[in-house]
Amino acid sequence: MNSIKIFCPASVANLSCGFDILGLCLESVGDEMIITKIEEKKIIIKINSEYDLTEDPLKNAAGISVIKMLEFLNFDECGFRIQIDKKIKPGSGIGSSAASSAGSVYGVNKLLGNPLTKKQLITFALEGEKICSNTAHADNISPLIYGGITIVRNNKTLDIVKINTSNSLFISIMHPQIEIKTKDSRKLIKRKVDFSESVQQSANLAGFITGLFHEDYDLIKRSCNDLLIEPYRSILIPEFDKLKKIAYSNNSIGFGISGSGPSMFSLTKNFEDAISVEKELQKHYIRKKISFKYYISKINNEGIKVIN
* Residue among 4, 21, 267, 277 that touches a copy of itself (CB under 8 A): 21
Choose between 60 and 223: whose C-beta lies nearer to a copy of itself.
Answer: 223
Q: For this structure, is 129 an active site residue?
A: yes
Beta carbon of residue 187, minimum distance to a copy of itself (angstroms, whole number): 12
Catalytic residue among 123, 127, 150, 182: 182
Q: Under rule CB under 8 A, how many of the chain's residues touch a copy of itself? A: 38
Q: How many Å apart are CA 75 and CA 156, to the nearest integer?
A: 26
Cα 197 to Cα 218, 223, 226, 228, 303, distances in angstroms: 22, 14, 10, 7, 33
Beta carbon of residue 149, minimum distance to a copy of itself (angstroms, whole number): 10
Q: How many Å apart are CA 61 and CA 183, to the nearest integer?
A: 16
* Residue among 6, 7, 13, 19 that touches a copy of itself (CB under 8 A): 19
Q: How many Å apart are CA 7 and CA 147, to the nearest integer?
A: 12
Residue 97: phi, psi to the nearest 5? -70, -35
Catalytic residue among 27, 123, 127, 129: 129
Binding mask 197-216 for a copy of itself (x = CB under 8 A): -xxxxxxxxxx-xx--xx-x
Q: What residues contact 212, with CB distance under 8 A and at least 6 apart?
A: 149, 163, 164, 165, 166, 220
Q: For this structure, is 165 an active site residue?
A: no
Nearest residue to 121 (alpha-carbon basis) of 81, 68, 63, 80: 68
Question: Applying CB under 8 A, which residues contact a copy of itself?
Answer: 18-22, 151-154, 159, 161, 163, 189-195, 198-207, 209-210, 213-214, 216, 219, 222-223, 228
Which positions are catalytic? 129, 182
